[in-house]
């Protein structure tokens, strides 16, 4: 199984919005609401930010939102803050009952 495709890096200024894409196939991203997103600041364990494409766990700011179109999912962060600087990973359950991750995207807040 191949990793999901994410851009290596994105950047934005405080207060702006950024969107991170995650492209897979009809066997994973494009199949049901299977995509989740994780935030990983340097030196820490990842944290769940979005699950099942659009759902936010309790405690995650509503500045974080998810969507999907076909085989591509997206994470949008609005009102960028310095604390949002981190690596972001998408993930999807697959039809072969496994889980795959994207390669990760480094978000830089300028």
Interacting residues toward other proteins by CB under 8 A:
1, 3, 32-34, 36, 38, 45-48, 51-52, 57, 89, 91, 93, 96-104
CB atoms closer than 10 angstroms to residue 17: 12
Q: Which is nearer to other proteins, 35 or 77 (CB)?
A: 35
Q: How far is the CB of 18 from other proteins (least distance, A)?
A: 19
Q: Which is nearer to other proteins, 64 or 93 (CB)?
A: 93
Structure tokens at 75: 């994470």
Closest CA to 39 of 107, 92, 99: 107
């Amino acid at each position: 199984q191949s990793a999901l495709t994410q851009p290596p890096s994105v950047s934005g200024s405080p207060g702006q919005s950024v969107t991170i894409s995650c492209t897979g196939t009809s066997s994973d991203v494009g199949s049901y609401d299977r995509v989740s997103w994780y935030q990983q600041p340097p030196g820490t364990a990842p944290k769940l930010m979005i699950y099942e494409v659009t759902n936010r766990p309790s405690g995650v700011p509503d500045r974080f939102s998810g969507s999907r179109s076909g085989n591509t999912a997206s994470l949008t962060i609005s009102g960028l803050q310095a604390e949002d600087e981190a690596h972001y990973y998408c993930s999807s359950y697959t039809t072969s009952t496994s889980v795959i991750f994207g390669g990760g995207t480094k978000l830089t807040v300028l």
